[in-house]
Amino acid sequence: MSQYAKPPIQPFEISLDIPTGALSPAGPTLIRKLSDLEGCFENKEAFQSEVAQTNPIVYQVISSLVPETARELPQSITTIYPGSCGDELYMTKGHQHPDPQGEIYYGLEGTGGIILFDGKEKKWLDISPGKIGYIPPGWAHRSINTGSTPYKFLAVYPGSAGHDYGWVLAKGMGFRAFDSNGKLVLKDFVI
């Protein structure tokens, strides 16, 4: 399995292979199956049933070699597959940065969006190729595939920001994103 490079990091070139959603040279790859998103979808019955049947891959994240350590600026490409669970669109687990720092998501292929939540205010950003979503410090964020093809984006984030997945499970995400006959419907996240 690939690992991050060991500091000190040297200058190097990183290629984006958008068809495969890979950064090259690649660091760690993360595969999230539906079962890895326990507690994320509203419809628990649909979730359990789909996990028991096909347990599909919901998304993958391929990181570059740049490590998640202080002062570095790592990157990754996330590919969220199209689909839904109980009509709730496929999404990432979502996280908050324990050390509040800004992040960008840059659309590469397909269409999607970001749900952002600071514990009080909630926000939706539409993302498509050539568009950046700015995630300010202090806003938890979750990505959604709103289309019928894989949705891919490049993330760039400070290496010391960290990932707190428990924050989202405890506090929610403000919105949930559903498919309604091919249209995106945002509903309040009830916790």
Binding site for a second copy (CB under 8 A): 8-16, 18, 23, 64, 66, 71-73, 75, 100-104, 106, 114, 116, 123, 125-127, 130-139, 154, 156-159
- In the complex with a second copy, which residue's Cβ is closer, 13 or 45? 13
Alpha carbon 46 to its chain centroid, in Å, reads 21
The CB-of-14 to a second copy minimum distance in angstroms stands at 4
- In the complex with a second copy, which residue's Cβ is closer, 51 or 186? 186
The CB-of-29 to a second copy minimum distance in angstroms stands at 18
C-alpha closest to that of 23 among 80, 57, 74, 94: 74
- In the complex with a second copy, which residue's Cβ is closer, 72 or 87? 72
- In the complex with a second copy, which residue's Cβ is closer, 41 or 94? 94
The pair of structure tokens assigned to 145 is 């595939």
Strands 103-109 and 151-156 come out as antiparallel
- In the complex with a second copy, which residue's Cβ is closer, 12 or 38? 12
The CB-of-144 to a second copy minimum distance in angstroms stands at 14
The CB-of-159 to a second copy minimum distance in angstroms stands at 7
Gap between the Cα atoms of 77 and 132, Å rounded: 13
The count of C-alpha atoms lying within 13 angstroms of the C-alpha of 180, restricted to the half-sphere facing its C-beta, is 7
Gap between the Cα atoms of 47 and 66, Å rounded: 35
The CB-of-6 to a second copy minimum distance in angstroms stands at 12
Gap between the Cα atoms of 23 and 89, Å rounded: 25
